[in-house]
């Protein structure tokens, strides 16, 4: 059988970030409010932020994290933990209004062995899911298709946030 290639040249940006010891991209994003668009930062509060995943597993994949660079749940204050969970709720509301998923995966990974790509700064993944969101691509080729650009989604989520007063903290 002839081997065929699926070209994904945008992946090189992600691959190159794996080698860079520049520090934490989440801390960098929070420290630069003037670059929220560039950093795909959707919401910021005093203690937390919500960022679109630049390399999503699915359309609408959000990261919710404390503003402080902390690695584990044990390091959060009660106020931070409450705000993070409220942001999960508000993120689900905003995604439901804009891209209408049928469900969500919400989770955390601690340590590289558990899948944490950024083990030093804890973050919560909110990943929208749809009934039957597998297609011939994932069934036959183990490939996922993300059908909307993160820039377009960011604009839609901001519009919904403004229209509906989200996040409601």
Question: Residue 108 falls within a domain, yes or no?
Answer: yes
**Threshold 0.95, pTM exceeds:** no
- Bridge partners, 44 (sequence order): 49
Question: Residue 15 falls within a domain, yes or no?
Answer: no
Question: Residue 14 falls within a domain, yes or no?
Answer: no
Question: Encoding tokens for residue 162?
Answer: 């403004």
Cα atoms in the 13 Å half-sphere on the side-chain side of 40: 19
Question: Residue 126 falls within a domain, yes or no?
Answer: yes
Task: Kindly compute the dihedral angle of the four CA atoms of residues 145, 148, 150, 155, in this order, to the nearest 10 degrees.
Answer: -160
Tell me how many domains the chain contains. Answer: 1
**CATH code of 31's domain:** 3.30.428.10
Tell me the CA distances in angstroms from 90 to 29, 86, 96, one per residue in order.
20, 6, 10
Q: Among residues 121, 123, 125, 164, which one is catalytic? A: 123
Question: Residue 129 falls within a domain, yes or no?
Answer: yes
Question: Residue 31 falls within a domain, yes or no?
Answer: yes
Q: Hey, how many other C-beta atoms are within 10 angstroms of the C-beta on 15?
A: 9
**pLDDT score recorded for residue 139:** 46
**pLDDT score recorded for residue 167:** 77
Domain range for 37 is: 21-160
**pLDDT score recorded for residue 142:** 57
**pLDDT score recorded for residue 108:** 92
Q: Mean pLDDT for each consecutive 10-residue tract of the chain (169 residues)? A: 64 68 82 92 94 89 95 95 96 96 93 78 94 59 69 90 77
Question: Residue 48 falls within a domain, yes or no?
Answer: yes
Question: Residue 168 falls within a domain, yes or no?
Answer: no
> What distance in Å separates the CA atoms of residue 142 and residue 109, rounded to the nearest whole number?
22
- Bridge partners, 48 (sequence order): 66
Tell me the CA distances in angstroms from 148 to 19, 56, 57, 116, 169, one per residue in order.
27, 11, 12, 24, 28
Residue 164 known to be catalytic: no
């Amino acid at each position: 059988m002839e081997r065929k290639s699926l070209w994904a040249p945008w992946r090189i940006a992600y691959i190159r970030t794996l080698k860079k010891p520049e520090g934490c991209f989440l801390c960098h994003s929070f420290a630069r409010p003037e670059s929220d668009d560039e950093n795909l930062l959707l919401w910021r509060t005093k203690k937390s932020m919500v960022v679109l995943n630049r390399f999503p597993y699915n359309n609408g994949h959000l990261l919710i994290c404390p503003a402080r660079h902390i690695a584990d749940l044990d390091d959060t204050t009660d106020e931070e933990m409450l705000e993070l969970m409220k942001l999960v709720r508000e993120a689900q509301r905003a995604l439901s209004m804009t891209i209408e998923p049928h469900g969500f995966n919400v989770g955390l990974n601690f340590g590289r062995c558990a899948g944490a790509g950024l083990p030093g700064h804890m973050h919560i993944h909110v990943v929208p899911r749809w009934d039957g969101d597998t297609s011939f691509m994932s069934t036959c080729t183990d490939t996922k298709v993300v059908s909307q650009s993160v820039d377009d989604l960011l604009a839609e989520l901001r519009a919904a946030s403004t229209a509906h007063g989200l996040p409601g903290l």
